[in-house]
């Protein structure tokens, strides 16, 4: 387990796997943007599609920042982690990982700004990376810590897309 604890009683790392996972998906996107846009030079769109892609990109970035902000700052998640409380209210009643969802949306938005249809595979790849990473780390930790309470929460609330099941 990562060692970014605030106190001895705290059971989970404060930042989880987030910094490492976000670095990896940002790196995957960066490499993809270099390959498609500059090395292979395929998939670049002209107007009017380039304008459409830029608008979608900006909207995704704004949505990502908003979702991240609500999950990270407005929800007081740090306090819940420090006190070993399973957070299931606020935005966490709609999505289990809003901070990661926000990062994913923002990085996907940046990808759209490059106006390249081939790069649309990058958010899909990043989604897969995030899903496997979270399933193999934080979800296991939370199941160990909260047991049936977290298992029920998993069935009720989606991992990355904000909606209830």
Q: Over the stretch 69-115, which tens digit does the pLDDT of each residue have?
A: 999 999 988 888 888 899 999 999 999 999 999 999 999 999 999 99
Q: pTM for the full model?
A: 0.88
pLDDT in tens, 105-141: 999 999 999 999 999 999 999 999 999 999 999 999 9
* Coil, strand or helix at 129: helix
Measured CA to CA, the distance from residue 15 to residue 41 in angstroms comes to 37
Confidence of residue 1 (pLDDT cuts 50, 70, 90): very low
Measured CA to CA, the distance from residue 65 to residue 67 in angstroms comes to 6
- pLDDT for 95 equals 97
Q: Of 151, 12, 155, 156, nearest to 84 (Cα)?
A: 12
């Amino acid at each position: 387990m990562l060692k970014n604890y605030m106190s001895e009683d705290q059971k989970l790392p404060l930042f989880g796997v987030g910094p490492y996972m976000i670095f990896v998906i940002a790196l995957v996107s960066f490499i993809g943007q270099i390959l498609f846009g500059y090395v292979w030079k395929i998939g670049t769109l002209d107007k009017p599609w380039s304008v459409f892609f830029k608008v979608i990109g900006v909207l995704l970035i704004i949505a990502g920042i908003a979702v991240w902000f609500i999950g990270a700052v407005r929800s007081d998640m740090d306090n819940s982690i420090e006190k070993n409380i399973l957070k299931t209210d606020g935005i966490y009643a709609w999505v289990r990982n809003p901070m990661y969802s926000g990062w994913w949306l923002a990085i996907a938005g940046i990808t759209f700004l490059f106006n390249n249809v081939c790069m649309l595979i990058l958010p899909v790849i990043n989604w897969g990376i995030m899903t496997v990473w979270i399933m193999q780390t934080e979800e296991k930790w939370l199941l160990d810590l909260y047991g049936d309470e977290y298992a029920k929460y998993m069935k009720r609330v989606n991992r990355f897309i904000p909606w209830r099941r």
